[in-house]
Structure 1
Amino acid sequence: MQVEIITIGNELLIGQVIDTNSAWMGQQLNQAGFDITRITSIQDTREAITFAVKDAMSRVDIILMTGGLGPTKDDITKETLAALFNSKLVFNKYAYDAMKNLLKGRVKGINKQNESQAYVPESCEVIMNPVGTAPVMWFDENGKVIVSMPGVPVEMKTAMENEIIPRLQKRYDTGHIIHKTIQVFNIPEAVLAEKLEEWENSIPGYITLAYLPNPGKIRLRLTAKTDNENQANKDLSSLIKGLYEIVGEHIFGEEDLPVQQLLGNVLKKNGQTVSVAESCTGGNIGHLLTGIPGSSAYFKGGVIAYENAIKEHVLGVSNDALEQFGAVSKKVVEQMATGVRSLMNADFAIATSGIAGPDGGTDEKPVGTVWIAIAGAFGVKSECFNFGKIRARNIQRSSDAGLILLLQHLKKTEV
């Protein structure tokens, strides 16, 4: 069943507010078995709203809208929908009482602006909003479902999870949608596609493949739409097995999660810890790791060793290595990794040293040259990369690479 999403607000169009609503809605609807065919962001004007809704109704049976339901004069979605569906605004006592209870103790009284939110189009079904003052409006028009929700993310998400998706699933037969995501690292998209050409040709017709590239990483998303869930799972397992046979050395995850979370899950499961010594990444690896809730269970800490003196006097890198090979070298980054592991008394360590750019490179070590090492009871391993000339991308790719190298090592030792 096909769905279109319409987000309303001038603030979205000028970049003042980032539209996270439609991304979240798309994920939830897709998991529930619905196809999202279009997402449109429009101005908060009668003309734009009217045209967008009519246009969507000409293509799909379900239109979900967010925004334009506040108490101020610039919020005109409700009035526009009433006019579009030849309805009038009427006072809804249930919506008023719910709003009154929500605001109790927060405001002295219900003013006219808040009271106006209890007026809704007569032709809609009102769905109560337990976390906001604007009710959700459900329209059935000529066999089409149009739902108007507040733009505040927590209000929209509450409505979608508790009311809208369950109602849509009850009304429409969506079948089964199964997603499997395989994450690969350090292989260009065109090279990957060439390696997988024969494998792709073997994919059953009801399963689709999408390449979702990010700098240095590619997600391969397999999607099965079927009424036979058991067969789909068998076919997907067979396809994933085939992927490992072709590009297994590049695979680092089978879940659609960021690498720092994948690594954290393994460390937590094993009761192991990690520390970091960062030069060119400037603390970004530590930032990524600590961005995951519960990371204190496995992340010991780190050292941002930007200056050579810090590498030497805090991490124990030898002056001879720095003088002979330079900070961006195999010898130095390996000593950084072993040094921080010992300093933090951690099971594992990740270290980075490189030339992030845009300047500082040489013919021998151009901008983008990065040495990354991991250390553990097994000893120390290192690898050299060249990530190009864009500083921010170099930092991100270096950070990801360090996390992935340790994750791949841990997965190999689990086998």
Structure 2
Amino acid sequence: MKAAIITIGDEILIGQIVDTNSGFIAKSLDKIGVEVHEMLSISDDKKHILDTFGQLQNRVDLVIVTGGLGPTKDDVTKKTFCDYFDDELVVDELVLAHVTELIEGYFKRPITQINKDQALVPSKCTVLFNQVGTAPGMWMKKENTVFISLPGVPYEMKHLVEHQIIPKVIKEYKRPYILHQTVLTYGQGESLVAERIEEWEDSLPEFIKLAYLPSPGRVRLRLSARGTDKEMLENELATQIKSLDAIIHDIIVGFDEDETLEVVVLKMLKEQNKTITIAESCTGGRIAATITAVPGASLCFKGGLVCYATQTKIDVLDVSEKLIAEHSVVSAAVASEMAIKVKALFNADYAIATTGNAGPSKGDAAAEIGTIFIAIATPNAVIVEEFNFGQPREKVTDRAVVKSLEMLQKEILKNVC
């Protein structure tokens, strides 16, 4: 079963907003065995929309459209649906009652004609009732293709996908199983990982596909199995993952799409009832932001400092001015001192400290641009490593964040009781 996802809106095409709806819809469809054939972003133009509908007609089973539904005059989707299906707009009384209750009951203002027009829907459509907004979804079928229109507001779209579309697709269509297993690796690049697992990859059965998903400092390996026998697919995926683990066990840190390194590290800290703090210079709070983005991080993360300026390291962290003068602010000695001081300040079990030249200029230090020192203070020692991540600046900070977490994980493993 194949689907296409269309986002309508000039604001997407000019880069004013980022389309996050398509990703959510694609993941939701994938979970129930619907293959997304293509994603398109198109303008708020009736002819463009009609042409796109015509191109997708009978090529896919589902076309899901987001955007172009709302109270303003430039929302064209409903009218375009009427043109494509040779239909007319009529008032849906249930939707009208819902809109009236929202406007007059919740917002406490008189309902206008523009608000009432939200209840206009094509007469032939199945209305997808929107409990969290005013614009209803629409489900219409022409020949072998179902066209579904959803509001572009993300939380409204998500509600309709989860509570209306997915249950309806499950009920009305027979679908294959699509199962995924993600292996999270850290510390080696895509080409090196590919070289190490080449023989294993070549031996995969035809119904299992491998995708490499690289990002700074890490590579996700996603195995996707497709078929009609769910138990067989699950067993084969488990067998292949076991074989893969035997080959690259040293760089595998997790087996779940959502089990990022920060999730893994926090899980380890929670299991050991340990805490972490951070003193950041060149990473500018990025490590702390990465950690606190994980729900439940407050159980182990005690806090941190962004000591960006040299004087701040002296005044706030009490790093020795003499030490900085002797070794430079970008040095192993200063990184180590920062980790020790912040660990003591927050009374934490572990600490991370970063200092470096992310670029594009050298700042207060003579070290080469791209040079980063990362220190990890543990209950028993301080470990410092030097790296040069090159340029540009964003790459340097991204790599520093990943490498800091990778080093922390290794030290936690060493200190397991």
TM range (shorter): over 0.9
1:368–1:388 contact (8 Å) kept in structure 2: yes
Aligned to 1:380: 382
Aligned to 2:329: 327
Aligned to 1:222: 223
Secondary structure in 2 matching 1:104: helix
Aligned to 2:101: 101
Could you tell me which of 336, 346, 349 is aligned with 2:348? Answer: 346
Shift in alpha-carbon separation, 1:248–1:171, aligned structure 2, 3 A: same
Aligned to 2:188: 187
Aligned to 2:200: 199
Secondary structure in 2 matching 1:301: strand
Q: Which 10-residue stretch deviates more, 372-381 or 7-16?
A: 372-381
Secondary structure in 1 matching 2:237: helix
Secondary structure in 2 matching 1:264: helix
2:328–2:366 contact (8 Å) kept in structure 1: no
Shift in alpha-carbon separation, 1:397–1:226, aligned structure 2, 3 A: same
Secondary structure in 2 matching 1:187: coil
Per-residue deviation, 1:411? 4.8
Secondary structure in 1 matching 2:184: strand
Q: Which 10-residue stretch deviates more, 266-275 or 240-249?
A: 240-249
The count of residues paired between Structure 1 and Structure 2 equals 415
Deviations 1:371-395 (A, max 9, x none): 2121222422232222111112211
Q: 2:374, 2:244 → 1: CA distance?
A: 26
Q: Partner amino acid for 2:401?
A: S
1:252–1:408 contact (8 Å) kept in structure 2: no
Per-residue deviation, 1:321? 4.4
Aligned to 1:50: 50
Per-residue deviation, 1:70? 0.9
Could you tell me which of 352, 361, 374 is aligned with 1:359? Answer: 361
Q: 2:330, 2:236 → 1: CA distance?
A: 46
1:91–1:119 contact (8 Å) kept in structure 2: yes
Q: Partner amino acid for 1:221?
A: R
Q: Partner amino acid for 1:180?
A: Q
1:252–1:404 contact (8 Å) kept in structure 2: no
Q: 2:137, 2:9 → 1: CA distance?
A: 17
Secondary structure in 2 matching 1:292: coil
Aligned to 1:392: 394
CA RMSD of aligned residues (A): 2.3
1:176–1:225 contact (8 Å) kept in structure 2: yes
Q: Which 10-residue stretch deviates more, 261-270 or 381-390?
A: 261-270
What pairs with 1:40-79 in structure 2 (closer than 5 Å)? 40-79=40-79
Per-residue deviation, 1:264? 2.6
Deviations 1:195-227 (A, max 9, x none): 221121122211111111112222111111233
Secondary structure in 1 matching 2:127: strand
Per-residue deviation, 1:295? 2.3
Aligned to 2:247: 246
Aligned to 2:174: 173
Per-residue deviation, 1:282? 1.8
Aligned to 1:292: 294
Aligned to 2:133: 132
Deviations 1:53-109 (A, max 9, x none): 111124101111111111221111101111111111122111111211222331432
1:102–1:130 contact (8 Å) kept in structure 2: no
Q: Which 10-residue stretch deviates more, 237-246 or 66-75?
A: 237-246
Shift in alpha-carbon separation, 1:275–1:174, aligned structure 2, 3 A: same
Q: 1:11, 1:174 → 2: CA distance?
A: 35
Q: Which 10-residue stretch deviates more, 304-313 or 41-50?
A: 304-313
2:63–2:148 contact (8 Å) kept in structure 1: yes
Shift in alpha-carbon separation, 1:58–1:411, aligned structure 2, 3 A: farther
Shift in alpha-carbon separation, 1:4–1:376, aligned structure 2, 3 A: same
Q: Partner amino acid for 1:234?
A: N
Per-residue deviation, 1:317? 4.2
1:81 paired to 2:81: yes
Secondary structure in 2 matching 1:272: coil
Q: 2:318, 2:118 → 1: CA distance?
A: 65
Per-residue deviation, 1:168? 0.5
1:98–1:128 contact (8 Å) kept in structure 2: no
Q: 1:410, 1:167 → 2: CA distance?
A: 47
Per-residue deviation, 1:346? 0.5
Q: Partner amino acid for 1:229?
A: K
Unaligned runs of 5+ in 2: none
Q: 2:57, 2:31 → 1: CA distance?
A: 23
Unaligned runs of 5+ in 1: none
Shift in alpha-carbon separation, 1:140–1:372, aligned structure 2, 3 A: same
